[in-house]
């Protein structure tokens, strides 16, 4: 692995970690809204959580592909 590739893999790994933390934050924000009059917001937040999970996995795949 070249220095440039290693640097890219490291940056992508950090980005994947951050995206996963954001996913966790979004998931934590859903709980207080459950059972209220915020079904549309909860649905959108679940959708965002799934998208963030997919983004994190894609970044992790890119890191593995660079190694």
Residue 2: pLDDT band with limits 50, 70, 90: confident
Q: Mean pLDDT across the stretch 29-50?
A: 96
Could you give the 3-state DSSP secondary structure of residue 20? helix
The per-residue pLDDT for range 42-55, each reduced to its tens digit, is 999 999 999 999 99
pTM: 0.87
- Reading the block at residue 34, the tokens are 């459950």
The domain limits of the chain are 3-66
Q: Mean pLDDT across the stretch 20-25?
A: 97
Instruction: Work out the mean pLDDT of the chain and round it to a whole number.
Output: 95
- Percent with pLDDT over 90 in the chain: 91
d(CA 47, CA 53): 10
d(CA 56, CA 34): 25
């Amino acid at each position: 692995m070249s220095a440039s590739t290693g640097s890219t893999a490291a940056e992508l790994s950090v980005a994947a970690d951050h995206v996963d933390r954001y996913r966790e934050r979004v998931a934590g924000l859903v709980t207080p809204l459950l059972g209220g009059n915020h079904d549309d917001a909860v649905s959108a937040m679940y959708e965002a959580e799934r998208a963030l999970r997919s983004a994190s996995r894609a970044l992790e795949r890119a890191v593995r592909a660079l190694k």
